[in-house]
Amino acid sequence: MEISHFLLSKMLSMIHYCLCYIFMMMMANCLTAGALAIAHTNFSTDQSALLSLKAHIISDPQNILTANWSSASNSDICTWVGVTCGARHHRITALNLSYMGLAGVIPPHLGNLSFLVELGLENNSFHGPLPQELSRLRRLKTINFGNNNFMGTIPSWFGSFPKLQTFKLLGNGFSGFIPAAIFNLSALEIIDLSSNQLSGSIPREIGNLTMVKSIHLDDNKFEELPKEIGSLGQLEELLVQDNALKGSAFVPALNISSLITLALFGNNMSGSLPNNICEHLPSVRGINLGQNQFDGLIPSKLWQCKELRVVSFEYNNFRGSIPKSLGNLTYLSRIYLYHNNLEGNKFGGVLQSFRF
Ligand X SMILES: *[C@@H]1O[C@H](CO)[C@@H](O)[C@H](O)[C@H]1NC(C)=O
Residues found near ligand X in the complex (CB under 6 A) = 40, 45, 48, 68, 70, 79-81, 96, 98-99, 101, 108-109, 111-112, 118, 120, 123, 133, 147, 159-160, 162, 180-181, 183-184, 205, 208, 246, 255, 268, 270, 280, 293, 303, 325, 328
* SS3 at position 339: coil
Instruction: Quote the least distance from Cβ 319 to ligand X, whole Å.
Output: 16
Please give the DSSP secondary-structure letter assigned to residue 172. Answer: S
Instruction: Quote the least distance from Cβ 269 to ligand X, whole Å.
Output: 9
Burial string for 13-52 (b: 16+ CB within 10 Å, else e) reads eeeeeeeeeeeeeeeeeeeeeeeeeeeeeeeebbbebbbe
Instruction: Quote the least distance from Cβ 181 to ligand X, whole Å.
Output: 4
Q: Which of 255/321 has CB closer to ligand X?
A: 255
Query: Is the CB of residue 190 less than 8 Å from the CB of residue 210?
Result: no
Please give the DSSP secondary-structure letter assigned to residue 328. Answer: G
Q: Which of 162/344 has CB closer to ligand X?
A: 162
Alpha helices of the chain — where are they, by DSSP H? 2-39, 45-55, 64-68, 277-280
Could you tell me how many residues make up the chain?
356
* Separation CA 107–CA 54 (nearest Å): 9
Q: Which of 21/99 has CB closer to ligand X?
A: 99
Q: Other C-beta atoms within 10 Å of 12: how many? A: 10
Instruction: Quote the least distance from Cβ 336 to ligand X, whole Å.
Output: 21
Instruction: Quote the least distance from Cβ 34 to ligand X, whole Å.
Output: 15
Element (H, E) at 174: strand 173-176
Instruction: Quote the least distance from Cβ 316 to ligand X, whole Å.
Output: 12
Q: What are phi and psi of 182, to 5 degrees?
A: -70, -15
Q: In angstroms, how far is CA 199 from the centroid of its own chain?
A: 17
Instruction: Quote the least distance from Cβ 118 to ligand X, whole Å.
Output: 6
Sign of CA dihedral 62, 79, 137, 236: negative
Q: Which residues pair with 96 in a beta bridge?
A: 120
Q: Which of 181/249 has CB closer to ligand X?
A: 181
Q: Which of 206/337 has CB closer to ligand X?
A: 206
Q: Which of 26/81 has CB closer to ligand X?
A: 81
* SS3 at position 49: helix
Q: Which of 4/73 has CB closer to ligand X?
A: 73
Establish how many alpha carbons lie within 13 A of residue 203's alpha carbon, considering only the half-sphere containing its beta carbon: 14
Instruction: Quote the least distance from Cβ 321 to ligand X, whole Å.
Output: 13
Q: Which of 68/275 has CB closer to ligand X?
A: 68
